[in-house]
Structure 1
């Protein structure tokens, strides 16, 4: 890592804006305020990189824009779990944007590389601040006096305008965050976190760690027989399993269930987790096989492509079988957060296998960054599709088809599920929405900390409130009746 260029004034102002916005906006919850805080942090990184002579490249823009897009998930969805996944992925993409790199070490280590600058970044910013003020206390005092006078003018004239016009007072109250004294320590901590985070990002952009220079020693090539025999036998096992799957598909599940003595759901549940593990292990086998593949000439390259290509194609059939088994299980027991999550992971693993096959044809130089981009795109799509809303829709449809409904599970969903649960008939509708409505009534967050899913749920429940007859005893009896029907 090279020494960073001197910090620019624009970088310091952007870092200060990040800290102030963090203090004012992040204390009430996470929604659109995350995007508002991320924008000045991104500007700080841009100014620092520009001072260091770095110019944004195509993949830098992909990571940066992708990170900002992922931060929009909390602004749209009320559910915490996809929002948390999106925020973590956005931080990883932001770190990759300031580091750059195209190799596997850069892709794997880039997302955590920014942690190194959490100490060096603030020190770098402090040196730049001292250089601007120099040793003159008068310059520091002048800056502090300017900030104090600005704050007093805003406070005095803002209070007078608010007292003169009720509409302006309401507007001011909606726009200005609550900065009560009781929340002072927490607000100060958010200020420090925002300031330190922005300086760390800017320092990394000015002097990134060159992960591409990390050399991974190549594996020792094996002989053709030593390398190919285990893989060919494994490919034969895959082919036999897939042949059985095709026979089951065309022969019908009833004959298989009759022979095994299993129920429809037991057959699906037993197979999915094993097939998910098979997919993961297959990717590991491919990685190690490529590392130890023979590399003497054109015949070896054809052998590697033929064996691993066949294994990848058969692995895709395993992915399809796993997804089908989970679909069978959902038909029997309904959709849950765990089930929709593992299906999403299985589909992404299938996409990675397809990318590996493409790399075998067109070269693998682009593979690390495309795999990382596909993971980020999957997380973004997962958040935008509203998992809780999808779960509610699927389970409501299952109730209409079978009369079975897991009421206890539905009550634990977020406000994103309200539009689908609102389609249920009374008293089931009120029983399903009772807990969600109670959570929404506890207190309304400011506009910048309220997700679109939460706002939409409030509108629905305001137009058609939950029935007061849906008390605990009535809903408990209804839950048992639906669950064991």
Structure 2
């Protein structure tokens, strides 16, 4: 090998060979040296042979890269730029299924009808119009769910029917506070119907599930409109022309018939929404709210967030003695309090009031609030005890059921005692909005305790949904009984029993109180109803925004108007009175 290499290096043209090889390696070929014909021919033939045989590394020389090394290195991706490293998906991305199919024509028309009805009907107040607007929105959600191959389940039907039933409260009652509770509860039940939740996180978060779908629903609707418009431009133009012709015909012939018959003109005026140019910004806002809300409902129905995917891990299980001892002590405390309550019931309140030195109303008022908070804290204790309860076997389950079951039963007795104290307080001072509200809450807490007891016997799988149903049923019953009417009726009955009546407070109630206040003798009746008569005469609401309570009050005052008693009304109900030891000047905000 060494002899051959030395011979090759000593031949003429060997240096040329190596130079050409180096030039080939570097990407450049040197020009041949013209030293004669033979030499030129050899120079032309040498590169072909040099390219086919390997060249020693020492003769090739250093390789010159085409691109500098600092430019060949790949830059690190920027997380702020598109295409870089993206952050992990959020909670909604993980819990929501893939994008739903393109919005269908049935959903589109339902959403458009919801937006138009919102702009036309919701600007004058709340009444039957809220239920009218909710119907096309529910139809749009139904069409979207069907296009996404979702089936109607029994619990979905329960939530949907309950939400529509709650929306009937604005059509029945004039009082704003039960109407507000009914509308909020209806939105919560509608959201549960769209998402189909069943666990505790699902029921709690699913009732607010429409809000995360607002932006996604608007984008989904816009994409669907663009796709539909590109595929059916001719049909869209036909629909627009048909609608325009129908509207023109209705306006022309409706105006002719209205001018021909006064009765038909009155009927048409009552049925047609009063839309003016002055309130167009408000109408446009209501149109946008109805459009976005209907799209959010339809998108939630087609691609619901699976809130049940959020799992709450149970706490660390405690041993029996550590877990049960504090609860047993609490049960003994409850038992001692209940025993005292039984002694009071058997011995009578007179003995207790004699020992405490408190009036009966003060004794009842002080006890109710403490017992209400005791009920709320007991539910919190039960929830925490279940989180850290021992879970070793059947013996632990029996212990948990026995201890917590006894606590629930004792708390039910506390609830009954609190309601009894409220009854005594109402009998002394009369019924008010605050008193009927807290009594209703205490009664619902008792229902929750009964449901917890049932879950301990039959299993807790349905407990979250059962509590949600009980809350919705309580709000519905609260609106149906007409709390303002009940307050007025109870105060009128107290007056008939020769007790005082607070006319100033009763005048601040809603029109639902008019039928009960109409039974008062004069001049109390006119003094109580003069504000209602003035307000109803000033407000001429259309049929779709008038409640049944307002219509009934208007009919009563039209048949029996309130009389003008002048300054006599200021002195009514203001006389000094000792109400079970309370002087008139002792202020009681409760």
Q: TM-score, normalised by structure 2?
A: 0.80
Q: Residue 317 of structure 1: which of 413, 427, 442 is its match?
A: 413
Aligned: 1:267 with 2:363: yes
TM-superposed deviation, 1:143: 4.8
Do 1:223 and 1:294's aligned partners in 2 also have CA atoms closer than 8 Å? yes
Q: Which runs of structure 2 are paired with 1:196-211 in the superposition (5 Å)?
A: 196-211=292-307
Q: Residue 166 of structure 2: which of 65, 70, 73 is its match?
A: 70
Do 2:500 and 2:573's aligned partners in 1 also have CA atoms closer than 8 Å? no
- Once residues 171 and 450 of structure 1 are traced to their aligned partners in structure 2, the CA distance between those partners, rounded to angstroms, is 16
Match of 1:474 in 2: 568
Aligned: 1:417 with 2:513: yes
Match of 1:285 in 2: 381
CA spacing shift, 1:236–1:53, aligned 2, 3 Å = same
SS in 2 for 1:481: coil
> How many aligned residue pairs are there?
483
Match of 2:62 in 1: none
CA spacing shift, 1:484–1:437, aligned 2, 3 Å = farther
Aligned: 1:359 with 2:455: yes
Do 1:66 and 1:90's aligned partners in 2 also have CA atoms closer than 8 Å? yes
TM-superposed deviation, 1:433: 1.1
TM-superposed deviation, 1:136: 8.1
Q: Residue 25 of structure 1: which of 121, 128, 132 is its match?
A: 121
Q: TM-score, normalised by structure 1?
A: 0.97
Do 2:130 and 2:167's aligned partners in 1 also have CA atoms closer than 8 Å? yes
SS in 1 for 2:192: helix
SS in 1 for 2:408: helix
TM-superposed deviation, 1:152: 2.5
- CA deviations on 1:47-93 (whole Å, 9 max, x unpaired) are 00000001111110110000000000010011010001000000000
CA spacing shift, 1:482–1:372, aligned 2, 3 Å = farther
TM-superposed deviation, 1:304: 0.5
- Once residues 405 and 127 of structure 1 are traced to their aligned partners in structure 2, the CA distance between those partners, rounded to angstroms, is 62
Match of 1:244 in 2: 340
Unmatched tracts of structure 1, length 5 or more: none
- Once residues 122 and 161 of structure 1 are traced to their aligned partners in structure 2, the CA distance between those partners, rounded to angstroms, is 41
Do 1:406 and 1:482's aligned partners in 2 also have CA atoms closer than 8 Å? no
CA spacing shift, 1:359–1:147, aligned 2, 3 Å = same
Aligned: 1:445 with 2:544: no
TM-superposed deviation, 1:459: 1.0
TM-superposed deviation, 1:135: 7.7
- Once residues 237 and 152 of structure 2 are traced to their aligned partners in structure 1, the CA distance between those partners, rounded to angstroms, is 38
Match of 1:178 in 2: 274
Q: Residue 314 of structure 2: which of 199, 203, 218 is its match?
A: 218
Match of 1:303 in 2: 399
- CA deviations on 1:399-438 (whole Å, 9 max, x unpaired) are 1113310111100011111111111100011111111121
Q: Report which of the two structures shows the higher radius of gyration computed on alpha carbons.
A: 2
TM-superposed deviation, 1:172: 1.0
- Once residues 577 and 541 of structure 2 are traced to their aligned partners in structure 1, the CA distance between those partners, rounded to angstroms, is 35
TM-superposed deviation, 1:120: 1.1
Do 1:405 and 1:482's aligned partners in 2 also have CA atoms closer than 8 Å? no
Aligned: 1:378 with 2:474: yes
Do 2:314 and 2:387's aligned partners in 1 also have CA atoms closer than 8 Å? yes
- Once residues 119 and 390 of structure 1 are traced to their aligned partners in structure 2, the CA distance between those partners, rounded to angstroms, is 43
CA spacing shift, 1:482–1:438, aligned 2, 3 Å = farther
CA spacing shift, 1:484–1:27, aligned 2, 3 Å = farther
Match of 1:131 in 2: 227
- Once residues 316 and 375 of structure 2 are traced to their aligned partners in structure 1, the CA distance between those partners, rounded to angstroms, is 25
CA spacing shift, 1:49–1:135, aligned 2, 3 Å = closer
Aligned: 1:429 with 2:525: yes
- Once residues 136 and 429 of structure 1 are traced to their aligned partners in structure 2, the CA distance between those partners, rounded to angstroms, is 66
- CA deviations on 1:304-341 (whole Å, 9 max, x unpaired) are 11110110000000000000011111011100000000
Aligned: 1:255 with 2:351: yes
Do 1:70 and 1:89's aligned partners in 2 also have CA atoms closer than 8 Å? yes
Do 1:403 and 1:482's aligned partners in 2 also have CA atoms closer than 8 Å? no
TM-superposed deviation, 1:177: 0.4
SS in 1 for 2:561: coil
- Once residues 255 and 199 of structure 1 are traced to their aligned partners in structure 2, the CA distance between those partners, rounded to angstroms, is 65
- Once residues 372 and 209 of structure 1 are traced to their aligned partners in structure 2, the CA distance between those partners, rounded to angstroms, is 19
Measured on the aligned residues, the alpha-carbon RMSD in Å equals: 1.4
Name which structure has the greater RCO, CA cutoff 8 Å, separation 6+.
Answer: 1
SS in 1 for 2:207: helix
Match of 1:194 in 2: 290
TM-superposed deviation, 1:361: 0.4
Match of 2:176 in 1: 80
- Once residues 537 and 361 of structure 2 are traced to their aligned partners in structure 1, the CA distance between those partners, rounded to angstroms, is 39
Q: Residue 111 of structure 1: which of 176, 190, 207 is its match?
A: 207
Q: Which runs of structure 2 are paired with 1:386-401 in the superposition (5 Å)?
A: 386-401=482-497
| Bigger fraction of residues in helix | 1
Unmatched tracts of structure 2, length 5 or more: 1-95, 580-590
TM-superposed deviation, 1:202: 0.3
Aligned: 1:232 with 2:328: yes
TM-superposed deviation, 1:166: 2.0
- Once residues 191 and 260 of structure 2 are traced to their aligned partners in structure 1, the CA distance between those partners, rounded to angstroms, is 48
Match of 2:446 in 1: 350
Do 2:422 and 2:439's aligned partners in 1 also have CA atoms closer than 8 Å? yes
